[in-house]
Amino acid sequence: MTKHNFYIYSNCDFSVKSAAATRMMYYAKGISNEENAVYLVSCCSTKLEDDNFNEIEPNVFVLEQKQLTKNIIPTISFLKELCRFSDNHKGKKTYLLYPYPFVFLELFTVLYMIFIRKKTVYYELNEVRKYSSYFHDKLSIKRIKYSLKKIIYNSIYAFLDKLLPYYKGLICISTNIQKYGQVYNENTIRIPILTNPRIKIQTSSKSYVKNSSFNIGFSGSIVSNKENLDSFVDVVNKLHCENFDVTFNLCGTINTRDKQKLLTDKNQYAVVKYHGNLCENELSAFLGQQNLLVIPRGYNMQNNYGFSTKLSDYLNHQKVILLTNISDNRLYIVDGVNGYMVPPDDEKAMINKLKYIIKNYQKVSDSIIANASKTSKEEFNYQLHGPSLRGFMSKN
Nearest-angstrom CA–CA distance, 242 and 264: 21
Q: What is the mean pLDDT of residues 37-42?
A: 97
Q: Quick one: pLDDT at residue 257?
A: 87
- Determine which helix (DSSP H) or strand (DSSP E) holds 28, and give its type and residue range: helix 19-31
If one counts every other C-beta atom within 10 angstroms of the C-beta of residue 241, the result is 10
Q: Bin 118: left if φ > 0, else alpha if -120 < ψ < 50, else beta.
A: left
Domains and CATH numbers, the chain: 4-194+382-393 (3.40.50.2000), 214-380 (3.40.50.2000)
Nearest-angstrom CA–CA distance, 108 and 289: 46
DSSP letters spanning 100-142: -S-THHHHHIIIIIIIIS---EEEEE---GGG-GGG-SPP-TT
Tell me, what DSSP letter sits at residue 287?
H
Provide the mean pLDDT of the chain.
91
- pLDDT tens for each residue of 119-176: 999 999 998 887 775 556 666 676 777 677 777 777 888 889 999 999 999 999 999 9
Residues 6+ away with beta carbon under 8 Å from 172: 125, 126, 178, 181, 188, 189, 190, 191
Contact status, residue 287 vs residue 255, Cβ threshold 8 Å: no
Nearest-angstrom CA–CA distance, 316 and 192: 15
If one counts every other C-beta atom within 10 angstroms of the C-beta of residue 270, the result is 10
Nearest-angstrom CA–CA distance, 96 and 75: 16
Percent of the chain scoring above 90 in pLDDT: 72
- pLDDT tens for each residue of 308-345: 988 988 988 889 999 999 999 999 999 999 999 999 99
Q: Quick one: pLDDT at residue 383?
A: 94
Q: What is the mean pLDDT of residues 111-123?
A: 97
pLDDT at 27 over 90: yes
Q: 326 in helix, strand or coil?
A: coil
- pLDDT tens for each residue of 179-230: 999 999 999 999 999 998 888 888 889 999 999 899 999 998 898 888 999 9
Tell me, what DSSP letter sits at residue 378?
I
pTM of the predicted model as reported, rounded to 2 decimal places: 0.91
**196: closest CA among 64, 312, 117?**
312
Nearest-angstrom CA–CA distance, 157 and 65: 31
